[in-house]
Structure 1
Amino acid sequence: MQLLLVRHGEPLAVSDQAGGADPALSPQGHEQAAALGAWAAGAGGGGGGGGGGEKIVEIVVSGMRRAQETAAPAARALGLDAVVDPELAEFDAGRSSYQPVHERLGSDDPDWKRITDGYYPSFVDADGFTSRVRTAFGRIVERHRDAGRESVLVVCHAGVINTFLTGHLGLDRPLYFPLDHVGLSRVLVSRSGRIRVRSVNETGHVEGLL
């Protein structure tokens, strides 16, 4: 089977939201989501589209709004109901404010510096977050390990995808890869459970929208 890991589209900024910031996509983010839907329509039919001919049989999405809005066009295009897994939420879930990456560039915030250096922010329970991510992906793999050339589209977050990839690649920093909005990473899973990272952060399907 193949995991198609996609970071959500560009979100809006949110400040001091009671119950935790859960931003919607920006207009640019909605365009990126539409481009992902068009790509998935070609990939999902198994006819040699953007997914290399592997049919997309399931869409799994984080419980956060920006991920769900990103996945919605692909779900409509493929006629699938997205499976929501709250354990695919980003490490900032529950915090009162959210600032998109493009608004944080050049910031002197110590936690932003940690992220750009490839490490979790200081407020993250690294072991707990890593365990949560591994558990969520373990469930997906268990459901589809015998699926042959079928694919699962997983729409979630940069920290989640990085944690999964760097864990299997044995890298020394959990946030090693800068991932673009709606960037696509491919992971192959054999029937024996062997995991191989095939590509990281493909962006051809959103050319001109980053």
Structure 2
Amino acid sequence: MQLLLVRHGEPLAVSDQVGGADPALSPQGHEQAAALGAWVAAGGEHVVEVVASGMRRAQETAAPAASALGLDVVVDPELAEFDVGRPDYQPVHARLGSDDPDWRRISEGWFPEFVDAEAFTARVKGAFGRIVDRHRDAGRDSVLVVCHAGVINTFLAGELGLARPLTFPLDHGGVSRVLVSRTGRVRVRSVNETGHVADVL
């Protein structure tokens, strides 16, 4: 089987949101989601399931692809980003050059200090493990998983044996491919393919 790991489209900024920031997509983010849907609709990947995290930006990104395929979005809250529950969210372009210590750590490839790295890594591993278990015998079928840069990076770092959990800069709507054999062998095939969203990045 093949996992197509997609970072959500560009979201809006949110401040002081009660219950935790859960922004919608920006207009450009919706364009990125539409481009992802068009790419999936072209049919080259044979997607049999669309999974999204419980966060709004991931579900809105997944929706056009699921609609094009005639599938429902399977929501897995365990695929939420490491900042879930925090009151503020600033998209990447608004944070570039910031002196914020959390952003500096992210830029250097490390989790912010507020993240329980062990617990987050275990959560991510468990979420992907459940997806693989559902589709281990799927052969050449693909599962589209729309989630977050930290989630995707953490999964890839674990499979590649990387020390830094946030190694790869990932674009909104970018796709990373992971192949999983019937025996459970995992191979990272590509990271951050952006051809399908190049016109809306």
Q: TM-score, normalising length from structure 2?
A: 0.99
Aligned to 1:150: 141
1:79 and 1:194 map into 2 onto residues whose CA distance is 30
Find the counterpart in structure 1 of residue 182 from structure 2. 191
Deviations 1:131-190 (A, max 9, x none): 000000000000001000000000000000000001000011000000000000000000
The answer to whether structure 1 residue 169 and structure 2 residue 157 are counterparts is: no
Distance of 1:10 and 1:33 partners within structure 2: 9
CA distance in 2, matches of 1:21, 1:110: 19
> Which residue identity lines up with residue 27 of structure 1 in the other structure?
P
Displacement of 1:204 in angstroms is: 0.1
The one-character-per-residue Cα deviations of 1:59-98 (angstroms, maximum 9, x if unpaired) are: 0100000000000000100000010000000000000000
Q: 1:111-122, aligned counterparts within 5 Å?
A: 111-122=102-113
Q: Give the corresponding residue for 2:17.
A: 17
Query: Is 1:123 the equivalent of 2:114?
Result: yes
Q: Secondary structure of 2:42's partner?
A: helix
Is residue 56 of structure 1 aligned with residue 28 of structure 2?
A: no
Q: Map Cα deviations across residues 109-142 of structure 1 (whole Å, 9 max, x no partner).
A: 0110000000001100000000000000000000
**Aligned-residue CA RMSD in angstroms?**
0.5
Helix, strand or coil at the partner of 1:162: helix
Count of residues paired in the alignment? 201
In 2: Cα distance, 1:70 partner to 1:59 partner: 11
Aligned-residue offset at 1:208: 1.8
Q: Which amino acid aligns with 1:13?
A: A
In structure 1, distance between residues paired with 2:161 and 2:144:
23
Partner Cα separation in structure 2 for residue 2 and residue 72 of structure 1 = 20
2:35 equivalent to 1:35: yes
Question: 1:207 deviation in Å?
Answer: 1.2
Which residue pairs with 1:83 in the alignment? 74
- 1:137 aligned to which of 128, 132, 136: 128
Q: AA paired with 2:2?
A: Q
User: 5+ unaligned residues in a row in structure 1: which ranges?
Assistant: 44-48
State the alpha-carbon separation in 1 of the partners of residues 177 and 42 from structure 2.
Answer: 16
Secondary structure of the 1:196 match is strand
Q: Which runs of 5+ in 2 are unaligned?
A: none
User: Which residue of structure 2 lines up, in the alignment, with residue 179 of structure 1?
Assistant: 170
Q: Note the alpha carbon deviations across 1:39-71, whole angstroms, 9 max, x for none.
A: 01013xxxxx3x3xxx10000100000000000
Distance 1:147 1:72 in 2: 23
User: What is the rounded CA distance, in whole Å, between the counterparts of 1:182 and 1:115 in structure 2?
Assistant: 19
